[in-house]
Amino acid sequence: MPDLSQVIPRTASPHDVLRAALGALEAGRRVVLASVVARHGSAPSTPGQKLCLFEDLTAIGTIGGGAVERAALGMMGRALDELVSTPKLETFRLGPSLGMCCGGSVEILIEPMLPAAHVLVIGAGHVGAFAAPLLASLGFRVTLCDARAAAADPARVQLPAPLAGALPAHDRAQEEPGPALGEQVRVVLADHDDPEVTADMPRDLGEAAALVMTHDHGLDQAAIEWALARGFGYVGGVGSRAKAARTRARLEAKGVAERDVARVRMPVGVDIGARTPAEISVALAAELVAWRAGRRRARWMPAASAPAGEEQAE
């Protein structure tokens, strides 16, 4: 539990607090936000005031100062230390328990926030071009890389027509979903190990996922080895059970640690009998959603082997 007794938040307006919180989340850092929801009787807090606590234990904003702010910072620190927690509405009574004599009470919403999970999709073939925007539509920050210029064409990365047509009519009328969704995917013309590929990703790649689905088995092997070495928290590969067995055998032959070999999810995806690029994308997206949920509960455990397609990588 971090010691927050000496933390003095930097004064800022609620709007600036929100901007600072969003900036930290965009940079891949966790934050905890506190907002004054209601005040009853005599109290120093005003509804709408906001306070944000960052990973480095600095803070910005105010929810009234004094003992109530110190008490709230303590709760915010516990939420930050636990990595994850659900939002909680806390009532602070400004009496003897806080060393205060105001006599009123304050309701404060404490919200832990995690940055969007990053996913690196290595290979912009049929599955990659379909999976990348699908993952983006589910709230992931997606980087799609391929060293082939024709494959790494952003125009290929859009919500496929069957899904676009399934959207409500009013959504289709506002904006064409395909191109807009494609803009949420960062497409990089580069090999997986080029520095620009991970330039927009968090420093701690243990908070990110790598999905390997290139057009070449040898390149798949190299990309998986690279992803393990870089410490991606989740490493998955598209391919058959036979290919998965060969991949693991090659990793073992190269002296890759057993715990890392066991981390490779291949064939990747929930077992839904997927065969087409669209079906495989749905299967692997479902597994990534489960991984993200487990990561946010801080207790992700690899699922049992669940194939999603046989050799449908390109």
Going by pLDDT thresholds of 50, 70 and 90, the confidence category of residue 114 is: confident
Between residues 247 and 155, the one the model is more confident about:
247
Quote the CA–CA distance of 229 and 260 in Å, as a whole number: 9
- Span of 135-139, 200-204, 218-222 with lowest mean pLDDT: 200-204
Q: What phi and psi values does residue 162 have, to the nearest 5 degrees?
A: -60, -40
Angle, CA of 295, 71 and 69, to the nearest 5°: 105
Sheet (strand 141-146) strand order: 185-189, 141-146, 118-122, 208-212, 234-237, 264-265
- Encode pLDDT of 66-86 as tens digits: 888 888 999 999 888 876 668
Query: Any bridge partners for residue 13, and if so which?
Result: none
Query: Any bridge partners for residue 188, and if so which?
Result: 145
Going by pLDDT thresholds of 50, 70 and 90, the confidence category of residue 307 is: very low
Query: Any bridge partners for residue 189, and if so which?
Result: 146
pLDDT of residue 211: 97
pLDDT of residue 204: 83
Closest CA to 139 of 156, 173, 171, 114: 114
The yes-or-no verdict on residue 281 having pLDDT over 50 is yes
pTM score of the predicted model:
0.75
Q: What mean pLDDT is reported for the chain? A: 84
Quote the CA–CA distance of 295 and 140 in Å, as a whole number: 13
Q: Measured in whole angstroms, how far is the alpha carbon of residue 26 from the centre of its chain?
A: 10
Residue located via tokens 């969704």: 181
**What mean pLDDT do residues 184-211 have?**
91
Query: Any bridge partners for residue 145, and if so which?
Result: 122, 188
- Encode pLDDT of 218-261 as tens digits: 999 999 999 999 999 999 999 899 999 999 999 999 999 999 99
Task: Please answer whether residues 127 and 47 qualify as being in contact, where contact means their C-beta atoms are separated by less than 8 angstroms.
Answer: no
The yes-or-no verdict on residue 127 having pLDDT over 50 is yes
Reported residue count of the chain is 314
Task: Please answer whether residues 92 and 98 qualify as being in contact, where contact means their C-beta atoms are separated by less than 8 angstroms.
Answer: yes
As given in the structure block, the two tokens for residue 57 are: 């234990």
Q: Give me the sign of the Cα torsion angle 242, 244, 245, 251.
A: positive
pLDDT of residue 99: 62
Element (H, E) at 77: helix 66-81
pLDDT of residue 84: 60
Quote the CA–CA distance of 36 and 50 in Å, as a whole number: 7
Between residues 155 and 295, the one the model is more confident about:
155
For residue 116, give the DSSP letter: P
Task: Please answer whether residues 182 and 133 qualify as being in contact, where contact means their C-beta atoms are separated by less than 8 angstroms.
Answer: yes
Residues contacting residue 173 through CB under 8 Å, at least 6 positions apart: none
Q: What percent of the chain has pLDDT over 90?
A: 57
Between residues 155 and 163, the one the model is more confident about:
155
Between residues 41 and 270, the one the model is more confident about:
270
pLDDT of residue 176: 41
- Encode pLDDT of 173-182 as tens digits: 334 433 445 4
Residues contacting residue 267 through CB under 8 Å, at least 6 positions apart: 237, 238, 239, 240, 241, 244, 305, 306, 307, 308, 309, 310
**What mean pLDDT do residues 287-296 have?**
85
Quote the CA–CA distance of 199 and 305 in Å, as a whole number: 32
Residue 243: how many other CB atoms lie within 10 Å: 19
The yes-or-no verdict on residue 168 having pLDDT over 50 is no
Going by pLDDT thresholds of 50, 70 and 90, the confidence category of residue 6 is: confident
The yes-or-no verdict on residue 128 having pLDDT over 50 is yes
